[in-house]
Amino acid sequence: MIRKIIHIDMDAFFASIEQRDNPGLRGKPVAVGGSSDRGVVAAASYEARVFGVHSAMPSKIAARKCPGLIFVKARFDVYKADSAKIMDIFWDYTDLVEPLSIDEAFLDVTSNKKGIPSATLIAREIKERIREKTGLTASAGISINKFLAKIASDEDKPNGLFVIKPDEVMDFIGRLAVDDFFGVGPRTAQKMHDLGLFKGEDLRNADLQMLIRNFGKAGIFFHQIANGIDERPVRPHRERKSVGIENTFHEDIATRDEMLTQLEKLEKGLWERIKKHGAFGKTVTLKVKYNDFDQITRSHSSSEPFVNPGQLVSVVKDLLNLANPEKPVRLLGISVSNFPPREDSGPLQLTIDFD
Q: What's the longest Cα–Cα distance across the chain?
A: 64
Tell me whether residue 104 is one of the annotated catalytic residues: yes
For 276, other C-beta atoms within 10 Å of its C-beta total 10
Contact 146, 5 (CB under 8 A): yes
List the catalytic residue out of 18, 47, 98, 104: 104
For 264, other C-beta atoms within 10 Å of its C-beta total 12
How far apart are alpha carbons 215 and 248 in whole angstroms?
35
How far apart are alpha carbons 170 and 279 in whole angstroms?
43
Q: For residue 93, give Cα distances in angstroms to 86, 108, 130.
A: 12, 9, 13
Contact 336, 283 (CB under 8 A): yes
How far apart are alpha carbons 262 and 40 in whole angstroms?
20
Provide Rg for the chain, Cα atoms. 22
Contact 266, 245 (CB under 8 A): yes
Helix (H) or strand (E) holding 285: strand 283-290
How far apart are alpha carbons 169 and 265 in whole angstroms?
51
How far apart are alpha carbons 263 and 305 in whole angstroms?
20
3-class secondary-structure state, position 83: helix
Residue 287 sits at φ, ψ, to 5 deg, of -115, 130
Catalytic site residues?
Answer: 104
